[in-house]
Amino acid sequence: MDFQEGAKRIVADYVDAHLDKSDPPVTYDVYVVWFAKTLQNWKALLSTTLPDGKYYEVTYNGDKGEAYLDPYLKVGNMVYMDGWEES
């Protein structure tokens, strides 16, 4: 199984199910921002090319054979300059 392709399919299925059906059809891509695998488990952070500010976390629990989807909405972006950790 290609884990990243599986995660993309999970996100695409979710997005397709939650698009406004009264809007015209849209074309978009799902892409992986970050991916990690440890033993039988993996986690991926994904987004789409839709301009909606959403991103998605897909976690696979290999012990249970289950994948979990957590959708998020970006609410901001703060900039911290070098040295921010100093008191």
For the chain, give the percent of residues with pLDDT over 90.
77
Q: Is the per-residue pLDDT at 22 higher than 70? A: yes
In what side-by-side order are the strands of the sheet with 41-48?
A: 30-38, 41-48, 54-61, 66-73
Span of 7-11, 53-57, 73-77 with lowest mean pLDDT: 73-77
The pLDDT assigned to 86 comes to 59
The H-or-E segment that residue 13 falls in is helix 3-18
Q: What is the DSSP letter of 29?
A: -
Q: Which residue has the higher pLDDT, 85 or 38?
A: 38
Q: What is the mean pLDDT of residues 57-84?
A: 92
Q: Is the per-residue pLDDT at 87 higher than 60? A: no
The pLDDT assigned to 85 comes to 66
Mean pLDDT computed over every residue of the chain: 93
